[in-house]
């Protein structure tokens, strides 16, 4: 069902938002920023905001030199944009002072940054550092794995879901499960009115049988 790779995440997800030709340190910063912007925001909106930022030359120094009003105008209408302006400025200053303008290379250090949660940290490790530290669980992965009963008992948060999935899912699948299920959630297993009749899982999915 995901073989065509034509969901929004495939065209405009975080892995498509950074400048792959930028120096590695700049690329990693752009990955982290795109993850921070993507929270509670559709891929299309995140992608457009990142494009506007990149047109200004998206680096640690350019963000530090930008005033809050301008940054807000550029990233609007991402979700919670006012908070994100604050978090981006605080995190960028920390990166400059503590990491020489690069991003941390461990989950433990990443989650200490303002506005960076576990999902973002694990995805940053995957994309920026090419290091699979854990499964990136967002609302799509959380919802779908509970519907499919891929967790032994219902989980209440993405972080609970991550721990439950990592307990049994082979590590070599940790990298791909995020984009697979995010796209599946965008196209088929929707939050409301999932398209069960179109889904190839309809005969084995516990949630489909109730619909």
Residue 128 φ then ψ, to 5°: -80, -40
pLDDT, tens digit (0-9, with 9 covering 90-100), for 71-98: 999 999 999 999 999 999 999 999 999 9
pLDDT at 117 over 90: yes
- Please report, in angstroms and rounded to a whole number, the separation of the first and last CA atoms in the chain: 20
Give residue 7's region: left, alpha or beta (phi > 0; psi -120 to 50): beta
pLDDT at 210 over 90: no
CB 68 within 8 A of CB 34: no
Of these residues, 119, 152, 153, 209, which one is catalytic?
119
pLDDT score at 135: 98
Q: In this structure, what token pair is assigned to residue 40?
A: 């509670």
Q: In this structure, what token pair is assigned to residue 119?
A: 């999902």
Burial of 171 (0-12, 13-18, 19+ CB in 10 A): exposed
Average pLDDT on 42-69 reads 98
pLDDT score at 75: 98
Mean pLDDT of the chain: 97
pLDDT, tens digit (0-9, with 9 covering 90-100), for 164-200: 999 999 999 999 999 999 999 999 999 999 999 999 9
Residue 154 φ then ψ, to 5°: -55, 135
* 84 annotated active-site: no
pLDDT score at 211: 54
Q: Confidence class of residue 209 from pLDDT cuts 50, 70 and 90?
A: low
């Amino acid at each position: 069902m995901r073989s065509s790779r034509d969901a929004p995440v495939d065209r405009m997800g975080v892995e498509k938002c950074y400048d792959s030709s930028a120096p590695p340190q700049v690329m990693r910063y752009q990955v982290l920023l795109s993850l921070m912007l993507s929270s509670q925001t559709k891929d299309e909106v995140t992608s457009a905001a990142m494009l506007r930022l990149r047109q200004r030359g998206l680096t640690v120094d350019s963000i530090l030199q930008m005033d809050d009003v301008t940054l807000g105008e550029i990233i609007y209408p991402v979700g919670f944009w006012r908070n994100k302006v604050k978090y981006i400025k605080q995190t960028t200053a920390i990166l400059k002072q503590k990491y020489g303008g690069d991003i941390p290379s461990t989950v433990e250090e990443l989650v200490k940054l303002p506005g960076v949660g576990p999902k973002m940290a694990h995805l940053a490790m995957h994309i920026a550092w090419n290091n699979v530290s854990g499964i990136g669980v967002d609302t799509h992965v959380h919802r779908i794995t509970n519907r499919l009963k891929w967790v032994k008992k219902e989980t209440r948060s993405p972080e609970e879901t991550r721990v439950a999935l990592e307990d049994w899912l082979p590590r070599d699948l940790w990298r791909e499960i995020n984009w697979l299920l995010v796209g599946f959630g965008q196209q088929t297993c929707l939050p409301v009115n999932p398209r069960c009749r179109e889904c190839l899982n309809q005969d084995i999915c516990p949630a489909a049988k109730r619909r």
